[in-house]
Amino acid sequence: MSLKTRLQTILASQSMMRSIGAQTTVVEPGFVELQAPIGEGFRQHNGFGHAGLTFTLGDTAGGGAAITLVDEDHAVVTSEIGIHLLAPAKGDLLIARGKVIKPGKRLIVIQSDVYARQDDKERHIATLSGTMVPFKL
């Protein structure tokens, strides 16, 4: 199974990923890009994307990046993660890019950046840092 197929299978097994319409767009060792629409059901009072949506996609991109570096019969769970929100999620699409900062058997440190696309321009809206813990599926 390719790395991309493996990740898509794991994400497709999460109803949350289906609900937000997340797509796996790039998968490389230690790096994952995901995309999701800023859907009607995931907004703030002002119509911009909700921080919960930004967090969910950014966290999953970081976890996905970690999964690319663990054994095939393993996945990861988020132990802790922090998010700095930099700008409102204006536009139609979120793009999250997660990467591994430090691999490890017991802990994997990741960072993830989230961008909102509006009129074909990307704006940096959030940055996350966190710790993923591998476990056997």
Interacting residue ranges for a copy of itself, rule: CB under 8 A = 10, 13-16, 18-20, 40-45, 50-53, 55-56, 59-60, 75, 77-87, 101-102, 106-107, 109, 111, 124, 127, 129, 131, 133
CB of 126 to a copy of itself, least distance (A): 9
CB of 89 to a copy of itself, least distance (A): 11
Residue 84 or residue 121: which is nearer to a copy of itself going by CB? 84
CB of 38 to a copy of itself, least distance (A): 11
Burial class (CB in 10 A: 0-12, 13-18, 19+), 6: middle
Residue 27 or residue 67: which is nearer to a copy of itself going by CB? 67
C-alpha dist (Å) from residue 99 to 22, 52, 111, 125:
18, 20, 6, 17
Identity at 14, one-letter amino acid code: Q
